[in-house]
Amino acid sequence: MKTERLTKKELAKAVNWIKDGEVVAFPTETVYGLGADATNEEAVQKIFQAKGRPADNPLIIHVASVEQAEQYVTCFPEEAKRVVSNFWPGACTLVLNKKGDIASSVTADLNTIAIRMPDHPVALELIEQAGVPLAAPSANSSGKPSPTTADHVYKDLNGKIRGIIDGGATGVGLESTVLDMTDQKKPTILRPGGVTAEQLETVLGKVYHEKTSDSELLAPKSPGMKYRHYSPDKPVYILPENIEQAEKLIGALEDKKECVGLLVSEDTFESLGSLSSNHFLLGRKGYPEEAANRLYEGLRKLDESDATVILAEAYDKTGIGRAYMNRLEKAAEWLK
Ligand code: TXA
Ligand code: MG
C-alpha cells in the first residue's frame, strides 16, 4: 500500500479514508496517533496489524467533545467532570466503565474504556468531520519510541497505512496521562503523562499511582505497561548524576570499544566536555518539559547514529519529570 503524506489543507482526504475504514496517522499535542473509526471492527484490526501491536493491549478513543465522550461511558462521575473541565482538551485520558457501539478489539474485551479529547486543531477537525470517535494508539511500530513528527511515522509505517497528516512537531512530546476513574474515591494514574499528578491533585485531592514494578507487570491494570516500550534498538543506560561517576562510566564503555551516544541537557554536556561525538541535547538542565519534548526524537536520532550504547540523563520525578523518567526507565529496562 502506498502511504500518502497530506498537508493540513488536505484533511478532507483523510476524513474519507477514515469513513472508508482505512488507517490514518494524525498529529496530537502529545505524539502522533494512528487513527481508525472506533466503531468499525475491521478498521480497528488494521491498526493492530500496522503496528504489530498485541491484541490484548487496548486503545484510547479520541473524541471532539465531552458530549461525544458521554455516549461511550455508563456514568461520568462528578470527579471525572472536574478533570475534564480543567484539562480537556488535553493530555489526560480517562478510564471509565464503557457502554455503546465501540468495536470490541478497541477495549480488548475489558468493561472499561480509555477516552481523551486531544488539544490539537487538526485532530479535533478530523474527529469532528469523520463523525465518529477515533481509536488511536501512538503511531510507531510496537516497541519503538513514539513519533513526535510525521517523518518518524513515515519511517516506521510507510507502506502499512493509508496516509499521514503532517501537522509539524508535537508539543508535549510524551503520551497522555492515563487516569483510572472507575473508582471515584481512588483516582489512579496508570501511566504518567502530559497532565501531571500535581495538576490533577489541584482538582481531585489525592491521586494514586499504579506501581509498575516487574512483578506487577504480569498482571497490570493498564495492559500496555507489560510490553517492551519506547525502546530504540541500541541499549539505553541512565547516566549517573555525579559527573565523575558519569565520566568513569563513559571511559569504561569506551575501553570496551563501545561508541557512546549522550542524551543529556546542555549543562551536563558542557560539564562532560566533548567526550562523545554522538550526542543529542535535551534542553536546559532543570527544565523537564524540554526533555519530555525531545526524549523520543533523541532516542531515534542516537539509534540512527554510530553510537552503540545510549546514555541518558535522569531528571527529578516531579511534574512532567515523572513521565519522562517512566519512559526512560522503560527504554532502559528491556536490555537486549
Ligand atoms: O497521548 C496519547 O495518549 C497517545 C495519543 C495518540 O493520543 N496515545 C497513546 O496510545 O499513547 P497508546 O495506545 O500508545 O497507549 C494507550 C495506553 C496503553 O498503556 C493501554 O494499555 C492503556 O492506555 N489503556 C487503553 N485502554 C485502557 C483501559 N480500558 N484500561 C486501562 N488502560 C487502558
Ligand atoms: Mg504507544
For atom 10 of ligand 1, the residue with the nearest CA is 137
Residue 92 CA to residue 326 CA, distance in Å, equals 16
Tell me if 93 sits within 8 A of 114, measured CB to CB: yes
**Mutate which of 59, 61, 140 for ligand 1 pocket (most atoms within 8 A of beta carbon):** 59
For atom 29 of ligand 1, the residue with the nearest CA is 113
Ligand positioned closest to the Cα atom of 223: 1
DSSP output for 47-105: HHHHHT--TTS--EEE-SSHHHHHTTBS---HHHHHHHHHH-SSSEEEEEEB-SS--GG
Beta-sheet pairing, 24-26 with 177-180:
unpaired
For the chain, give the number of residues: 336
Give the nearest ligand 1 atom to 60 CA.
Answer: 25
- What is the number of other CB atoms lying within 10 angstroms of the CB of residue 212? 19
Task: Measure 243 CA to ligand 2 centroid, in angstroms.
Answer: 33
Nearest to 39 by CA among 133, 165, 113: 133
pLDDT in the model for residue 213: 44
Pocket of ligand 1 (CB under 6 A): 28, 30-31, 33, 57-60, 91, 93, 95, 107, 110, 112-114, 118, 136-138, 175-176, 178, 190-191, 222-225
Residues 27, 31, 36, 38, CA torsion sign: negative
pLDDT in the model for residue 333: 76
Tell me if 150 sits within 8 A of 161, measured CB to CB: no
Task: Measure 206 CA to ligand 2 centroid, in angstroms.
Answer: 27
Task: Measure 275 CA to ligand 1 centroid, in angstroms.
Answer: 38
**Mutate which of 138, 226, 295 for ligand 1 pocket (most atoms within 8 A of beta carbon):** 138
73-98 in b/e form (b: 16+ CB < 10 A) is: beebbebbeebbeebbbbbbbbbbbb
Kindly give, in sequence order, each residue whose CB lies less than 8 Å from that of residue 145, ignoring residues fewer than 6 positions away: 152, 230, 231, 232, 295, 296, 299, 300, 331
Q: Which residues of the chain have pLDDT under 50?
A: 213-219, 336
Determine whether 108 is exposed, middle or buried from the number of CB atoms within 10 Å of its CB (0-12, 13-18, 19+): middle
The secondary structure element, H or E, covering residue 170 is none
For atom 27 of ligand 1, the residue with the nearest CA is 114
- What is the number of other CB atoms lying within 10 angstroms of the CB of residue 169? 16
Task: Measure 58 CA to ligand 1 centroid, in angstroms.
Answer: 7
| 262: its cell numbers | 549522550
Ligand positioned closest to the Cα atom of 113: 1
